[in-house]
Amino acid sequence: MLKIIEKNINQEIKKIQNRLSFDNHEEENKVKKILENVKTKGDKALFEYTEAFDKVKLKAIEVDFLEIEEAHISIKDDILATIRVAIKNVADFHFKQLPSSWGKTVFDKSLLAWRYSPLQKVGIYVPGGTAAYPSSVIMNTVPAKIAGVPEIVMVTPPDKTGQVPALTLAVAKEVGIEKIYKIGGAHAVAALAYGTKTISPVDKIVGPGNLYVTLAKKLVLGTCGIDKLAGPSDVLVLADETANPAYIAADLLAQAEHDIFASSILITTSKEVAEKVNKEILVQMKKLSRKQIIQQSLKENSIIIIAKNEKEMIKFSDKIAPEHLEIMTKDPLGITEKVKNAGAIFLGDYAPTSLGDYLLGPNHVLPTSGNARFDSPLSVHDFIKTSSISQVHSSLLKAYAPDVEKFALLEGLDAHANAVKIRMSSLKNLRS
């Protein structure tokens, strides 16, 4: 059951928001050593860390082509059909995100332009080891493909036999990844960032992982790009008296099964709905296989908040800035228009977050830890960079020269002013 609170709400929210911090200096120092070791020893360090952390002695880091083919063949046709539906839906949604370069003529003969171009090489981190996460392969790779990234490589931890789960390899083949490396953890991030004999460095690393993976991404930022710092997953449900308690309970439980740090929050204007949700949680949880994880998540990182009215519901929601926001009210669309901070928003009774996690189309790589205040879901834009282009005719230079010189001298940068003056002198000489 979830704790129902009506007082000291901001204090309770703060406790949940601080449940896992990236300012963990002890763990960060461990990760720094791993990064330095991979930087210095390359592949040798990758073999050593895989043996130490994954308890397996690898013969090779790269997954063999035949291994990928055999894995793909081993997957049943109905499973592959489901995977292809997911890929198509994600692709259809992300194609609409493709931006267009543009240019405009100024002063008749000068050109100002904005150009979009794809990153050249991206590394996809896929969690693994004890389980397969095919949805993570799809969500991270499809937007990169649509953006036009020519080279995408994947890293994922091996299982106890030194293999990557067949389903993960099969999905990687379906989305067109050819280079796959069976390494995970902070050392995999280091390999992608710095490069080794086997793995060449990438321009950007994307994909979720544990605390060590996240800290490693934080530390390599600047050597390469990263998508975001992924904290524990969360869901927030906004509900009024019309909401279905069974649906709410099911979605809170679904979020709680991720791990013990996951957060499931209900904000409602109805105490009756709150109490019914708690009863439903007890009934539904009995049938679930990850009951122990769910119980700890609900006890330590989840709450029900009773709000006075819709306005207060929205105020608390924006303060939390949830990764997933479900709105189950009379007018969910009306509330959506007032909400400012949320990663993915699901409206009405028939939009559970699990639909978005796998098949709906929008990306499930989302800002966590309240970062929806300033961050966005993974998209095509994460795999594109921009350049401004200026082709300047002498007429434009002549028009702007006096103002440029003034600005330069105001800042005490006379060499900047001189760069304009010398050109203006040349133009005068040409005319004389």
Whether 323 sits among the annotated catalytic residues: the reply is yes
- Tell me the mean pLDDT in the region 391-410: 96
- Could you give the angle at which helices 185-194 and 211-220 cross, rounded to 10 degrees? 20
The model's pTM is: 0.93
The pLDDT tens digits of the residues spanning 301-328 come to: 999 999 999 999 999 999 999 999 999 9
- Output the pLDDT for position 22: 67
Strand locations in 80-203, DSSP E? 102-106, 110-118, 121-125, 151-155, 179-181
**The tokens 């099964």 sit on which residue?**
257
The proportion of the chain whose per-residue pLDDT surpasses 70, expressed as a percent, equals 98
Residue 187 falls in the annotated catalytic set: no
Given 174, 323, 326, 405, the catalytic residue: 323
Partners of 117 in the beta sheet? 385
> Which two structure tokens, joined as six digits, stand for 352?
């559970």
Neighbours of 117 (CB within 10 A): 12
Q: Is the pLDDT of residue 25 over 80?
A: no
Contact 58, 160 (CB under 8 A): no
**Token pair recorded at residue 376:** 């966005």
| Residue of 267, 264, 199, 261 lying closest to 230 (CA atoms) | 261
Q: Which residues share a beta bridge with 267? A: 238, 305
Please enumerate, as own/partner, the contacts of 32-37 that have beta carbons within 8 Å and a separation of 24 or more: 32/219, 34/185, 34/186, 34/187, 34/190, 34/212, 34/216, 35/186, 35/189, 35/190, 35/193, 35/194, 35/216, 35/219, 35/220, 37/187, 37/190
Q: What is the rounded distance in angstroms from the CA atom of residue 173 to the CA atom of residue 71?
A: 9
pLDDT at 82: 97
**Strand, helix or coil for residue 81:** helix
Q: What radius of gyration do the chain's Cα atoms show? A: 26
Q: What is the pLDDT of residues 47-71, one digit of tens each?
A: 999 999 999 999 999 999 999 999 9
What are phi and psi for residue 34, nearest 5 degrees? -65, -45
For 235-254, write each residue's pLDDT tens digit: 999 999 999 999 999 999 99
Identify whether the C-beta of residue 307 lies closer than 8 Å to the C-beta of residue 238. no
Q: What does the mean pLDDT of the chain come to? A: 95
Catalytic annotation, pick one of 187, 258, 324, 364: 324
Show the tokens assigned to 89. 């839906």
Per residue in 338-359, pLDDT tens?
999 999 999 999 999 999 999 9
- Residue 432 has a pLDDT of 58
Q: What is the pLDDT of residue 21?
A: 67
